[in-house]
Amino acid sequence: MLQRFLDPATLHSISGLDLVAKTVVQGFIAGLHRSPDFGFSQEFAEYRAYTPGDDLRHVDWNVFARTEKAFLKRYRAETNTQLLVLLDTSASMGFGSQAVNKLDYARFLAASL
């Protein structure tokens, strides 16, 4: 079955695909995915009022010039995520032609990931 789908041309055409999660995840290693925690990245999250002892490098001086109050810029941390692929193997997945059914396509998609 896999030989029908995973020929060298198909493998080459999907080799450059990147998978990026669209949900917030929590992890301990820096990566591509948003985290509910704050840390270092380029994605702005919020402003927080300055408190004594905070690092002055994170003060947004433009906001300070407008408001005369010091605010820190906070950024979303980026983490790695784990992905679990589950396939529906119920009888309804047998729908399709004799050559290829929905389960075959689902297996191909899972293998492509």
Q: What percentage of the chain reaches a pLDDT higher than 90?
A: 16
Enumerate residues 6+ apart whose C-beta is below 8 A from 80: 25, 27, 29, 30, 31, 32, 33
Q: Could you give the CA distance from residue 2 to residue 106 in angstroms, rounded to a whole number?
A: 11
State the DSSP code for 11: H
Structure confidence at residue 28 as a pLDDT band (50, 70, 90): very low
pLDDT value at residue 109: 82
Q: Could you give the CA distance from residue 55 to residue 57 in angstroms, rounded to a whole number?
A: 5
In sequence order, the β-bridge partners of residue 79 are 33
Average pLDDT, the chain: 75
Single pTM value for the model: 0.36
Length of the chain: 113
